[in-house]
Amino acid sequence: MNLPWLAPGDPLPAPAKAWGDLDPVPGLLAAGGALDVPTLLDAYGHAIFPWFSDDQPILWWSPDPRMTLAPASFRLHRSLRKVLQAFRTDPRCEIRIDHGFDTVIRACSAAPREGQSGTWIVPPMVEAYGALHRAGHAHSVETWIGGELVGGLYCVSIGQAVFGESMFARRTDASKIALAALVCLCRRHGVQLIDCQQNTAHLASLGASEMPRERFVAHVARAREEPAPPWHFEPVYWSELLPARPSTT
């Protein structure tokens, strides 16, 4: 099959035109184009995302099925529950939103990945998502301990459509804490799904599951028109996953 080649400004093909299971690379939709803010918003708004390496052109993807995490289905294992309870009660610990987006995405690009020798968060992607952040559509959820950034994640948000991108950790469980915080924020503000793009055993263990692309595209079409959640984190949001703290009065 011929892969569509896009010039900057060309519209992206419909997600249903992505290569299927019998094609060379299932989920691949197009190559070329640009990583400017309007193109990225159009892509994510139609369940498409860029993913490519240093030696490749821009590649656009819309896999079928799509891995998604419903915040209501997040699986809080006993060990992580204990970590979150300790984090919540420690005055040195806090979740910050968008305090250091550029630092977070660069840390994600440098984080080692099992089975990978490089990164898909190449310099053009770092620059593009920085611009998307400044436009109000990319956010970082950050784990801080003792005034030090120890882990986090970044995501894309269009209305109530939330797309997880990448995580990093400099201390044990720091990225899981950030993900749990994102789940709490989404639960608090009625966000129904967090896109996870690709199926991994780790995501499945946390409650993520596959969704047919057609259904995911329909979800994004609805969610992108809803008011965006306020991108800040209050400690009370932990009660979405943990028992409410007893009153001190």
Spatial distance between the Cα atoms of 197 and 123, rounded to a whole number of angstroms: 21
pLDDT at residue 244, rounded to an integer: 76
pLDDT at residue 194, rounded to an integer: 98
Spatial distance between the Cα atoms of 196 and 67, rounded to a whole number of angstroms: 5
Does 245 score more than 80 pLDDT? no
Backbone angles phi, psi at 84, to 5 degrees: -65, -40
pLDDT bucket at 118, cuts 50 / 70 / 90: very low
pLDDT bucket at 247, cuts 50 / 70 / 90: low
Per the document, the length of the chain is 249
Does 117 score more than 80 pLDDT? no
Q: Interhelix angle for 101-110 vs 123-134, to 10°?
A: 160
Cα torsion angle, 35, 37, 38, 41, sign? positive
Render pLDDT for 34-60 as a digit per residue (tens, 0 to 9).
999 999 999 999 999 999 999 899 999
Render pLDDT for 202-240 as a digit per residue (tens, 0 to 9).
899 999 999 999 999 999 999 999 999 999 999 999 999
Does 114 score more than 70 pLDDT? no
pLDDT at residue 198, rounded to an integer: 86
3-state helix, strand, coil in the chain (%, to 5): 35, 20, 45
Does 159 score more than 70 pLDDT? yes
Average pLDDT in the 188-201 region?
94
